[in-house]
Amino acid sequence: MKHVSSLLRLLLYLNLSSVLARGGQRNSSSTSFSGSSRRLLDDDQFQTSADKAKGYMTNAELEEAVKAFGQRCNNISRIYSIGRSVSGFPLWVIEISDKPGVEEPEPAFKFIGNVHGDEPVGRELLMLLANWICDNHAKDPLARLIVENVHLHILPSMNPDGFALKRRGNANDIDLNRDFPDQFFPMNNHEEARQPETRAIMSWLRRIHFTASASLHGGALVANYPWDGTQDRRRYYYGCPDDETFRFLASVYSRLHYNMSLSREFQGGITNGASWYPIYGGMQDWNYIYGGCFELTLEISDNKWPNADELPTIWEYNKMSMLNLAASLVKSGVHGRIFSSDSGKPLPGSITIKGINYTVKAGRAFADYHRLLAPGKKYEVMATVPGHKSKCTSIWLEEKATTVDFILDPDVTGEENVLRSICDDCNCNGGGKPILLEFLWGFHMEVYLILILILAFLCFLLKRRMKFTLGKQRQSPKRSVMV
């Protein structure tokens, strides 16, 4: 009987081990899949749901914790909601900054936890992260760097309904990490057909220009980066245009983790998503393609739902990785602003890197850009703004960040553009005579004299035409004349 019981436990384990952390049940369309199994459940895998949730915050307790944090740390934070779940639970966000809620020429980073309802470690760790920064920003250099130079947004739970039901999907039993628009296959193209949690994330990215982000999952120990899928649904390494930069960001997390980089399954503790196993409709690829945001998928615990008494250890293993990933937005890459040479005003243009087919847009208010790049290489950086001449410069990117501001000249290529420029400068309402005179005296004297002669000649022709027209009117008073 003992052997029969052991055999049943082994069969159950083998079946559950194929349910992968990032992908859940294997997609039948993912052909040629030979993904490696991993241990997802410990000896306590047969514990009841009530026992499993013991020690974890309920949704009501999480809401109280978020609001309590907002009151305790109101000098460096604000609390807001990006929407509601299917069951109506608010999706609370904590923003941490020295000027929370104020738009600044600084990069923004977001952490998202509990995307899958049965992976709750992230929501606990994100509250620990927020409170640690609150307690230490006045004395810890890394915490102070984040508060003073980054707008950090923390969404502890994207799927509170799934957590309450203790299952992967939301209240409609939909996997939220398969509910985003996909680059390869026409799925979820109608926004109103998506889940409210998905729509909330998409609307969030339209309001805030995030530079980078990470979502926290469980069931493995690895930092995952795009692409998550392939064009033919097969499993192989499929890198995005910024593959090298993503490998760098994933390594920042893995190297500083207690043991992620020591993985025997994933070299260096990082993996390309499609190489691990392809998924479609994922949030990670959508962020990079449609949101202009570099996102990682972080598997932070071998066990999807470990005992609550393990949470302090898991937090210590991940703390420095989480802090340094957020700080990497200002500790690496190339940053700057784009200005107009004639007015000095910021120009919300775009930044491209030679050899990388990806465009980073500058912010609308301050025209600030934050271009993440792998260090130790030479890059050609180009700033482009419609109506202005593009500029390109070469930089050697060291381990530290580099600042490059661009000042672009207007692209005036014809007489019509010259006249329009004059009109724009004087506002066409008589209030800009000094600007007009400065513009005219800016020409070479020869050109100025030629313009005077041309204008005088045009006036002479106009007077002759008027005399001729008046004479014709006297001879034929019934004729209509268009002036």
Nearest to 173, CA basis, from 161, 182, 181: 161
Cα pseudo-dihedral 131, 132, 137, 139, rounded to 10: 140
Ordered DSSP codes for 308-349: GGGHHHHHHHHHHHHHHHHHHHHHSSEEEEEEETTT--B---
The residues, ordered by sequence, that sit 6+ positions from 239 with a Cβ below 8 Å of its Cβ are: 226, 227, 246, 272
pLDDT reported for residue 186: 82
pLDDT reported for residue 460: 60
Find the helix or strand (DSSP H, E) in which 83 lies.
strand 77-84
Exactly one of 104, 295, 299, 399 is catalytic; name it: 299
For the stretch 406-415, pLDDT in tens is: 999 999 874 3
Taking the C-alpha atoms of residue 369 and residue 17, their distance in angstroms, rounded to an integer, is: 43
Nearest to 120, CA basis, from 174, 43, 53: 53
pLDDT reported for residue 447: 55
pLDDT reported for residue 3: 44
Taking the C-alpha atoms of residue 357 and residue 372, their distance in angstroms, rounded to an integer, is: 14
The residues, ordered by sequence, that sit 6+ positions from 55 with a Cβ below 8 Å of its Cβ are: 307, 308, 309, 311
Taking the C-alpha atoms of residue 125 and residue 405, their distance in angstroms, rounded to an integer, is: 37
Find the helix or strand (DSSP H, E) in which 472 lies.
helix 445-475
- Indicate if 299 belongs to the active site: yes
Ordered DSSP codes for 38-78: -----GGGG--HHHHHTTSPPHHHHHHHHHHHHHHTTTSEE
pLDDT reported for residue 421: 43
Residues of the chain with pLDDT under 50: 1-19, 23-46, 414-443, 466-483
pLDDT reported for residue 462: 52
pLDDT reported for residue 288: 98
Could you tell me the two tokens for 416? 């019509």
- The DSSP letter of residue 292 is -
Q: How many CA atoms lie within 13 A of 185 on its CB side?
A: 17
